[in-house]
Structure 1
Amino acid sequence: MARSATERGTDWLARGGLRPTRQRVALAALLVGDGENRHVTAESLFAMTDHCGEKVSLATVYNTLRAFCEAGLMQEVVVDGSKSYFDTRMDDHPHFYWEDSAELTDAPADQLEISRLPQLPVGAELSRVDVVIRLKRV
C-alpha cells in the first residue's frame, strides 16, 4: 500500500526528533511527501503552501526550515550572502547554481575531485565543504 505524503512527512519529522505540529507536518509533506529530494527557498516553500491551501506565515516557514536543519533533516546551502536554499538531500554533494534562473540543482558528486584543502587554523576542525558551481546558460 502506498504511503501518503502526510505519513512520509510525519515519519521524516520523527527521524529528526521533532514534534509533528500541523504546520510542520504540512511543510514536511511538501518537502518529502513524494519521496524525492528538493531544493527550496523559504519563499518558494511559502508559495507551495498557498497553492495547497495551507495557512502558514512566511516567518513560520523560515523558522521551520531552520528547525529542520538543526534537527539534521535538511542542509542550508548559501549561494550569496543573502540567498539561502534548503536541501533535503543530506549526503555530501556539490551543487550547480543557475544564475539566470536562480535555480539550485545537484551536481554529480562522482565527477568532483578535491585533492587538497588548506591547513586549518589552530583550534579548528573541519565541519563540511560546500561546493557551489555558478553557471550561466549560453
Structure 2
Amino acid sequence: MNRTAAGPERPFRDALQRLKAAGLRPTRQRLALTRILFEAGHRHLTAETLHAEAKSAGVDVSLATIYNTLHQFTGVGLLREVVIDTGKAYFDTNTDDHHHFFFEGSNRLTDIPGDHVTIANLPAPPEGMEVARVEVVIRLRESDRT
C-alpha cells in the first residue's frame, strides 16, 4: 500500500498545519490546493498551471478560486508572487531570499540564490519609507551567436 509521508490516516496533516500556522481556515479546497502546491518541493506556478493540476487531481475548483487562494497565500507569506509582465505572474513556493532567471522562449523560471546577486548603489528611498526587499529577474533568451 502506498502511504504518504503524513501517514495513511492523516494525508492532509502537513497541509492542515501549514494553513493553521498562517492563520487561514483549512477549507476543503485550501487543503487540496496546499497539498498540490507544496508536496512537490519548491516550484513556480501560474494560476492556470495550478488550475490544471487541481483538475487532474480531481479537485473541483474554479480559476477564480485559484486566483483568490494564491493571493491569500501570498498575503500571509506562504507564497511569493513574481511578476514577469503585466498579466504574467508566477507564484513561488520558495519564500526565502532569492532571485530568478526567466527563460523567455519557454516562459520558465529558475531560482538564483540570494547571495549570488549583489546590488550596489540603490537609490535612497523616499522619506518615511524603507527598502523591504529587492527582487531581481534576469531575462534570458537564446543567443544569436553560432
What TM-score comes out, normalization by structure 2 length? Answer: 0.87
Preserved contact between residue 97 and residue 113 of structure 2 (Cα < 8 Å): no
Kept in 1: contact 2:99–2:135 (CA 8 A): yes
Q: Displacement of 1:129 after TM fit?
A: 1.0
The C-alpha deviation readout for 1:86-109, integer Å capped at 9, x for no partner, is 111111100011111111111133
Matched, 1:3 2:6: yes
* Alignment partner, residue 72 of structure 2: 67
* Higher RCO, 1 vs 2 (CA within 8 Å, ≥6 residues apart): 1
Equivalent in the alignment of 1:128: 133
| Residues 101 and 3 of structure 1: CA distance in aligned 2, closer, same or farther (over 3 Å) | same
AA partner of residue 110 (structure 1) = D
3-state SS of 1:91 partner: coil
How many residue pairs get matched? 137
Q: TM-score, normalised by structure 1?
A: 0.91
Cα RMSD (Å) of the superposition?
1.6
The alpha carbon displacement at 1:113 in A equals 1.1
Deviation track 1:59-118 (CA, whole Å, cap 9, x = no partner) reads 000000010011111111111122111111111100011111111111133321112311
* DSSP 3-state at the match of 2:12: helix
Tell me if the contact between 1:8 and 1:32 (Cα under 8 Å) persists in the aligned partners: no
Which residue matches 1:85? Answer: 90
Tell me the secondary structure at the aligned position of residue 46 of structure 1: helix
Q: Is the 8 A contact 1:99 1:136 kept in 2?
A: yes
Q: Which of 14, 19, 38 does residue 13 from structure 1 map onto?
A: 19
Q: 1:20-46, CA deviations, whole angstroms, 9 ceiling, x for partnerless residues?
A: 100000100001124x11111101000
Partner Cα distance (1:71, 1:108) in 2? 22
Output the CA distance in 1 between the equivalents of 2:30 and 2:129.
34
